[in-house]
Amino acid sequence: MTQKNRLPEGGRIDRTRPLGFLFNGRRYTGFAGDTLASALLANDVHFVGRSFKYHRKRGILGSGAEEPNALVQLELGGRTEPNARATQVDLYEGLIASSQNCWPTLEADLGAANSLLSRIYPAGFYYKTFMWPPSFWMTYERFIRRAAGLGRPPREPDPDRYEKAWRHCDVLVVGAGPAGIAAALAAGRSGARVILVDEQAELGGSLLSRKGAIDGAPATHWLDTALGELRSLPEVMVLPRTTAYGYYDHNMIGLIERIGDHRGGSNGGVPRQRLWHVRAKQVVLATGAIERPLVFSDNDRPGILLASAIETYVNRYAVAAGRRGVIVTGNDTGYGAALALAGAGTAVTVVDLRTEPTGPQHETARARGMEILAGHTVARTFGNGRVTGVEVMPMTADGEGVVGSGRRIECDLVGMSGGWSPTVHLYSQSGGKLRYDEALAAFVPGNFRSGQHLAGAVRGSFGLGAALSEGFAAGAAAAEAAGFRAAAAPVPAVEGYEPAPQRMLWVLPSSKPLGHGGKNFVDFQNDVTAADLKLAVREGYRSVEHVKRYTTTGMGTDQGKTSNINALAILSETVGAAIPAVGTTTFRPPYTPVTVGAFASRDLGDLLDPIRRTPTHGWAEKVGAPFENVGQWKRTWYFPKAGETMHAAVNREVKAARTSIGIVDASTLGKIDIQGPDAVKLLNWVYTNAWDNLAIGRSRYGLMLDENGMVFDDGVTTRIGENHYHMTTTTSGAPRVLAWMEEWLQCEWPHYRVFLTSVTEQWATIGVAGPNARKLISELTQDIALEDESFPFMSMKEGHVAGIPARVFRISFTGELSYEINVPTSYGLALWQALMTAGEKYEITPYGTEAMHVLRAEKGYIIVGQDTDGTVTPGDLGMDWIVSKKKPDFLGKRSLARADTRRDDRKHLVGLLTQNPSEAIPEGAQIVGELKPRPPMKMLGHVTSSYYSPNVGRSIALALIEGGRARIGQELHAALPDRNIRVTVTEPRFFDLEGTRVNG
């Protein structure tokens, strides 16, 4: 394919590097330095998409972030990305893109029939039509989405790598046009840490698009020198292809850097994109301005562009996007496009809304003999697709009507300039308030926020001279505010665009009433016309926020960058209120869409959340044991032998612990070291029972309550010295318990002399349970006497096991004779293996969390968080025995005296036995007294724990049941979706009711 619109010379593209790409299945060629949009225009491809609602033919409108029309589906498979702005896609070899919102093809789109029905698709069409009945919305929505969708999301995993990182700096400069570069220079020269970001591949902003001179040389010479100096400053980081997408509190800015997009994705370890969270001491916004389209009849045909875009395509990309051009403008900047086109050999007519045009570029055009029609309007456009002509007419003096007859001008390119809107998005996101400037017909920043500086067009200071002087000043001020000495820099002399008076007409007049014979588009992406806005007002909408939502203006992925100001000006005219009184809608992040993958980065798969490993993790992995998540820990669930089901494995493990020896890795149990003379006072506060008389070397079980009297943790605490205690907590409750005690110590009892330290990971804890436990351990220790007299239940001894220094606790979560051996964590596996080897003759059996749960449920021992849920008191659990009546106070005590916590009919923990002994009730099953054919039924409570117990020889369950203790002996029902199970209420314990097994 030839690039018929490519100019033989000029531009910033590299003609030695041609790049092939596919668009809608056809092969084209562009050059390095092109965007997809400039490459398409070089090949004279204007028609690139269908509009959202009417499926009208649309072409490239702009040259940057503002683009509402040229949204393409980029790439295929897992890499595919919807709604990519062709104006911001850097061209690369092999790029594949296609149009969106058309079927079966762009040219033969069936949805275009909507255009014929446009009379029945007015503003608010969806709201009016699909309102009733409300339950039908789900049905409607599916069809609407199919008909009016944009691009398609990827269906496959994204193969690219994404990174995210935090960064700090003294001065962040957003925008590398002349103002931003000047600011970065001024700040960088002071030694401050500076980050300069720009969303484009090449830095320079308007210097790349407009002809201008600085210090008597082409502006690009100054640009090259300035960028060279910036790159030489060690503390200056320059990030091209990086969009500042969000401005958050305290100068936190979100950046998205496109590292590999222009190479087609990530490459090895180099990511496709990097998300930066920047915390800047000072921010300089030099974000420039965006040109506004003009609103005239059928202003949306392919070939009608923003004037500044036409100028950019000529000067930066060496593309003259047509052979015969018409520029319609209300200001002097539109002449830049006219002069650029003329320089490229394109014949141009300028339609100037002003009756007496002025301005330096206007003068140049006039001097060159360009046809200029002052005081004229474009009444309508022609073409079936690509624009083929315009009708121009003289306007009345007030610009509200036309006089005389129209003249048709044949053309294939139209540029429009409705003035400039400062790019105040980031400023507004930061909380800045806008002020309407009548002369500029634009909203400009209205106040200066602390830590923030503005320079150039974003302030409404148009022109190269203002950009440079304000840029240097802002950069210096920012550096000074960050604590650096910034020397005054000489501001270079400039020659280039300078502002001149403009004329604003928000809707161009025509010989026909608005909306007749053509559509005057305001929002190109969402297909909102001037007539739609006026209709909304007639229907009673006044607030800009309501009109926005009703008409959907400004609600596309472009967030109305080209449409918002036109829309609210038309609204203001229609309701007869001044523009400032109408106000603007809210600017929200992101400035342009950000790939979700960049937010996720590597927080995926195994790195989504930390996996915490116990000392026996690798051993369990090798024997093929599956793991269970307990908080972030992986705990061994059960240890299946070859071919064994989970049920069989758990039954075997549970039996072994009651007939010989079971062994379990309990290292995840929370452990807190408590030291200090007031340690016992703290224990008396946080536990419900009394701790004053615990002897050194003895252990005690305790329950912890929150302020509401609800159980929130339990565990065994051991006194290991005069003022020294070793507390254990539940696995998942460990951080919460430590934080809870620290909070009370720091906020309520700062005078207590107690230090708390987590020692969870200092000790590997191996539980050894079963009738042969004592025999086995006695074979592995010489310095710990294990007889009952010297080492009774609920006590601790220090010594060595298998030669490893150990603290051995005689405590039991199984009800069996049981020891928990604590050794230094790095010896945890060595201890485990020593026990396994020495225990072979006892058929020692490793067990996992499932068997542990069955064993404790047989005994009726609770698991906090499983049998309790934050609404359960000790009384509800039948554990009043552990609540001290004598202690003057403890945390939660007062709440236990409330009428509600003293009710008899609270939910109590009880046991449930099924009629069929081999059937286990699913955990969570609802228990009802009276069965009905279908819900609702009165629910009495639910099953908290349920297992098959081989030791009891039947299934067992624990449940929280309303007034449960009074129901013991009653028959109730577990109501399940597919069946009901008849159950009998029992005491919540099922095995070894006398409690003698713990003695061995």
Partner 1 sequence: MVEPYLRQSALVHRGLSRAAAGAMSGAGIVLSERPFRAMVNLRGEASDAGFLSAVRAAAGVELPLQPNTTQRAAPVTALWLGPDEWLITAPAGEERVLVPALRASFGERHAAVIDLTESRTVIAVSGAHARDLLAKGCTLDLHPRAFPVGACAQTGLARAGALLHLVDEAPTFEITILRSFADYMWVWLADAAQEYGVALRTE
Q: Would you say 17 or 602 has its CB closer to partner 1? A: 602
Closest alpha carbon to 241 in 256, 228, 225, 231: 256
CB 287 → partner 1: shortest distance, Å?
Answer: 25
Alpha helices in 278-401 (DSSP H): 307-315, 334-343, 360-367
Asked if residue 888 binds partner 1 (CB under 8 A), the reply is no
Q: Which residues contact 369 (CB under 8 A, 6 or more apart)?
A: none
Cβ closest to partner 1, residue 45 vs residue 756: 756
DSSP for 6-27, please give it.
Answer: B-SS-SS-EEEEEEEEEETTEE
Which phi and psi angles does 79 have, rounded to 5°? Answer: -90, -5
* Cβ–Cβ < 8 Å for 478, 455: no
Reading the block at residue 676, the tokens are 């200090």
For 806-823, give one letter per residue: b (16+ CB within 10 A) or e: bbbbbbbbbbbbbbbbbb
Q: Cα separations (Å) of 62 from 553, 561, 565? A: 18, 11, 16
666 to 685, contacts with partner 1 by CB under 8 A? 673, 675-677
Name which of 612 and 907 has its Cβ closer to partner 1.
612
Binding partner 1 (rule: CB under 8 A), the pick from 4, 435, 755, 971 is 755
d(CA 649, CA 847): 9
Position 518 contacts partner 1 (CB under 8 A): no
Query: Which CB atom, from 213 or from 759, has the smaller least distance to partner 1?
Result: 759
Contact segment (CB under 8 A) with partner 1 among 361-369, 515-523, 755-763, 949-957 equals 755-763
Give the nearer residue to partner 1 in terms of CB position, either 217 or 604: 604
CA triple 707-709-715, angle to 5 deg:
95
Residue 203: strand, helix, or coil: coil
Residue 606 touches partner 1, criterion: CB under 8 A:
yes
For residue 623, state whether it binds partner 1 (rule: CB under 8 A).
no
Name the segment binding partner 1 (CB under 8 A); options: 41-49, 754-762, 970-978, 979-987.
754-762
CB of 743 to partner 1, least distance (A): 15
- Residue in this structure with the two tokens 């503390």, named with its chain if needed: 235
**501 near partner 1, rule: CB under 8 A:** no
E strand residue ranges, 613-697: 627-630, 633-636, 662-665, 670-675
Give the contact letters, 782-821, x = binds to partner 1 (CB under 8 A), - = no.
Answer: ------------------x-xxxx----------------
CA distance 350 to 342: 11
Q: Is 609 in the site for partner 1 (CB under 8 A)?
A: yes
Q: Which stretch binds partner 1 (CB under 8 A): 162-170, 178-186, 199-207, 426-434?
A: 162-170
Q: Are 455 and 473 in contact (CB under 8 A)?
A: yes
C-beta of 121 vs 749, nearer to partner 1:
749
Question: Which of these segments, 17-25, 106-114, 607-615, 706-714, binds partner 1 (CB under 8 A)?
Answer: 607-615
Q: Which stretch binds partner 1 (CB under 8 A): 239-247, 465-473, 575-583, 828-836?
A: 828-836
CB of 805 to partner 1, least distance (A): 8
166 binds partner 1 (CB under 8 A): yes
3-state SS class at 861: coil
Closest CA to 661 of 474, 840, 398, 865: 840
Q: Which is nearer to partner 1, 362 or 726 (CB)?
A: 726
The one among 763, 809, 819, 861 contacting partner 1 by CB under 8 A = 763
Task: Return the residue of 78, 345, 401, 610 that touches partner 1, per CB under 8 A.
Answer: 610
End-to-end alpha carbon distance in the chain = 90
CB of 826 to partner 1, least distance (A): 5
The only residue of 160, 163, 300, 876 in contact with partner 1, by rule CB under 8 A: 163
The answer to whether the CB of 826 falls within 8 A of the CB of 853 is no
Which residue in the set 411, 829, 920, 974 belongs to the binding site for partner 1 (CB under 8 A)? Answer: 829
Of 146 and 168, CB closest to partner 1: 168
Which CB, 502 or 728, lies closer to partner 1? 728
Backbone angles phi, psi at 923, to 5 degrees: -60, 140
With CB under 8 A as the contact rule, the residue among 549, 613, 887, 942 that binds partner 1 is 613
CA distance 567 to 529: 9
Q: Which window, 52-60, 537-545, 605-613, 859-867, contacts partner 1 (CB under 8 A)?
A: 605-613
Token pair recorded at residue 835? 């026990």
**Cβ at position 900, least distance to partner 1 in Å:** 39
To the nearest whole angstrom, how small is the minimum distance from the Cβ of residue 750 to partner 1?
A: 11
Nearest approach, Cβ of residue 32 and partner 1 (Å): 24
Joined tokens for residue 234: 């060690």
Answer for which of 15, 79, 263, 277 binds partner 1 (CB under 8 A) is 277
Number of residues in contact with partner 1, rule: CB under 8 A? 53
Would you say 528 or 734 has its CB closer to partner 1?
Answer: 734
The residue with tokens 């930061």 is 430
Q: Do 406 and 391 contact (CB within 8 A), yes or no? A: yes
- Rule CB under 8 A: is residue 757 a binding residue for partner 1? yes
Q: Which of 361, 417, 564, 614 binds partner 1 (CB under 8 A)?
A: 614
Put the strands of the sheet holding 376-382 in their side by side order: 376-382, 389-394, 407-410
Tokens 């969570």 -> residue: 924
CB atoms within 10 A of CB 576: 8
Minimum distance from CB of 231 to partner 1 (Å)?
Answer: 18
Joined together, the tokens standing for residue 890 give 């403890």
Q: How far is CA 367 from the centre of its chain?
A: 55
Q: Going by DSSP bridges, is the β-strand pair 347-352/324-329 parallel, antiparallel, or unpaired?
A: parallel
Contact of 668 with 633, CB cutoff 8 Å: yes
Comparing CB distances to partner 1, the nearer of 184 and 855 is 184
> Which listed range, 225-233, 450-458, 578-586, 750-758, lies at the site for partner 1 (CB under 8 A)?
750-758
Distance CA 723, CA 700 (A): 16
For partner 1, the binding residue among 78, 149, 431, 618 (CB under 8 A) is 618
Residues in CB range of 739: below 8 A, 6 or more apart: none
* One character per residue 171-200, x = contact with partner 1 (rule: CB under 8 A): ----------------------x-------
14-23 and 273-285 strand pairing: unpaired
- Residue 771: CB minimum distance to partner 1, A: 28
**Closest CB to partner 1 among 279 and 503?**
279
Minimum Å gap between C-beta 676 and partner 1 is 6
- Identify which range of 80-88, 343-351, 611-619, 647-655 contacts partner 1 by CB under 8 A: 611-619
Question: Is 753 a residue that touches partner 1 (CB under 8 A)?
Answer: yes
Q: Where are the beta strands (DSSP E) in 464-593?
A: 494-495, 521-523, 528-529
Query: What phi, psi does 289 have (nearest 5°)?
Result: -150, 160
Which region, judged by CB under 8 A, interacts with partner 1, from 266-274, 364-372, 501-509, 807-815?
Answer: 266-274
Residue 857 DSSP SS3: helix
Question: Segment near partner 1 (CB under 8 A), from 111-119, 310-318, 598-606, 685-693?
Answer: 598-606
Binding of residue 437 to partner 1 (CB under 8 A) = no
- Say how many C-beta atoms besides its own lie within 10 A of residue 722's C-beta: 9
The answer to whether residue 825 forms part of the interface with partner 1 (CB under 8 A) is yes
- State how far the Cα of 228 lies from the Cα of 191, in Å rounded to an integer: 16
Kindly state whether residue 827 participates in binding partner 1, applying the rule CB under 8 A. yes
Tokens of 750: 């700062």
Which residues form the interface with partner 1 (CB under 8 A)?
A: 161, 163-168, 193, 268-271, 277, 279, 601-603, 606-607, 609-615, 618, 633, 673, 675-677, 753, 755, 757-763, 800, 802-805, 824-830
